[in-house]
Structure 1
């Protein structure tokens, strides 16, 4: 005689098989979730199979009480809707990981809090870009175009990089709202570099020397701007570098040995931007404004 526990395990396994071992059943569940009740003709057109081959799949879903039929119209039951939503969430998570397996396997994701990482399926389709070492300071045109046409920018800077500040200056020139978070080490580097009387680059070339002086002046404008909200991160997690705008999400992670890599992730879909903004807000909540420190730059 089978125990109740054994029966529950068998039932659970059978339900998983019912949903995930048939592409037709899985597609039908997601179709009804996304678009609502459908007629047999609608279902046949979407699945692109003869109705005779579809009816056995629908019967399995109706036997489990996931799909209901009323005068030839099929819809999800209450529990069917719950299960379909969770199945979609699970499938999206698998898709994001599977499509970019090397990136997620090679990089340290610990700076992403678990409650946000658990929603990684919301990123949708992302692109992994690998820069050549010879062009490591040059962002791809696709990234630059989206950054420069954005109406707002939120950035986290964990590595001193001239591009980061120059990008901010471009935003401020257009009175674009900008929020920037840096680590304490990056802040110290900025303060030391721009308060020091020692030239950034020792050279006898007057043109370069003049350019460096102007560069310092422009960077000071970034820190003193009323449009820019400048903060320093006080959290314990190993920080990451990210940029979130109304058009693009950019994410750079260290590898699992704590080294900087030349690969980064970009995404453009609205749900990805929302995911990136939530990650940025996590860091913002653990940061403080530093207007008094930066006004001395």
Structure 2
């Protein structure tokens, strides 16, 4: 630990231990994040004796994290901020633990640090890995789902055959499509420049190129996102992509896409 981080840790060491050494205090904070509760209500929710709860509540009150009004305990402004941070940490650990190998053995350099901090927004996902008797079925279902999407946003450093053929169909169907590609992918798709240039004249299709060495395959619609990361050695395998569904994953995906869009250049015509 560097000297600066050591000093910072020492400033909050007591606060961190307040949560790490007591599951009861952490549970109280997370429960009160949803709204005020009486001791009786906390006792039922946590299945903890009232004497233990009152001891923990006193600790939280002394730190000005919890306050009591008319027998109801609630978070102070400071308590709410810390509870939100605690919930974010909890969600991050859940997200990582669910697909430990995915996050452990893939290159995360293409995910900005600020978005790595909020990775808990992704929640529970599913690895797009097919059963041996139905190889690539999940990928086929994913590609087909693009046809019924309202919005498609993608950042990719690789070419996926089904994806390349599905996008023109989605554009033709009126789907709002924006794609960010690396220079290598732009060069590879230039062989279809006549077809692509026709699509670029349509209002519902925008193509961008980014100079950075992005190592990711990312596609998002209005309801889900699919993300594939390069292995540590730089290779990709389609059997390791993960899909996240819901409002929060899409919010995270929007921030991810916008991050790369700000660094990209729009392509109006392929030469």
**Aligned to 1:130, what secondary structure does the other structure show?**
coil
Note if contact 1:146-1:248 (Cα within 8 Å) is conserved in structure 2. no
d(CA) in 1 for partners of 2:182 and 2:53? 57
Q: Note the aligned Cα RMSD (angstroms).
A: 2.8
- Tell me by how many angstroms 1:253 deviates: 0.7
Partner of 1:24: 24
Partner of 1:242: 218
Q: How does 1:223-242 map to 2 (within 5 A)?
A: 223-234=200-211, 236-242=212-218
d(CA) in 2 for partners of 1:9 and 1:283? 33
Alpha-carbon distance change, 264 to 32 in structure 1, aligned in 2, over 3 angstroms: same
Q: How does 1:106-117 map to 2 (within 5 A)?
A: 106-117=105-116
d(CA) in 2 for partners of 1:136 and 1:158? 23
Note if contact 2:126-2:243 (Cα within 8 Å) is conserved in structure 1. yes
Note if contact 1:30-1:84 (Cα within 8 Å) is conserved in structure 2. yes
Note if contact 2:143-2:163 (Cα within 8 Å) is conserved in structure 1. no
- Tell me by how many angstroms 1:52 deviates: 3.6
- Tell me by how many angstroms 1:154 deviates: 0.5
Partner of 1:284: 261
Note if contact 1:168-1:222 (Cα within 8 Å) is conserved in structure 2. no
Note if contact 1:157-1:164 (Cα within 8 Å) is conserved in structure 2. no
Tell me the number of residue pairs that the alignment of Structure 1 and Structure 2 aligns: 263
d(CA) in 1 for partners of 2:28 and 2:128? 34
Partner of 1:183: 182
- 1:36-74 deviation line (CA, Å, top 9, x unaligned): 222223222322334344222222222333211223110
Partner of 1:209: none
Partner of 1:71: 70
d(CA) in 2 for partners of 1:284 and 1:50? 53
- Tell me by how many angstroms 1:85 deviates: 1.9
Q: How does 1:1-297 map to 2 (within 5 A)?
A: 12-33=12-33, 35-131=34-130, 138-140=137-139, 143-144=142-143, 146-192=145-191, 194=192, 222-234=199-211, 236-261=212-237, 262-293=239-270
Bigger CA drift: 62-71 or 276-285? Answer: 62-71
Q: Greater Rg, structure 1 or structure 2?
A: 1
Bigger CA drift: 239-248 or 47-56? Answer: 47-56
d(CA) in 2 for partners of 1:232 and 1:9? 41
Partner of 1:5: none
**Unpaired runs of 5+ in structure 2?**
1-7
d(CA) in 2 for partners of 1:220 and 1:133? 39
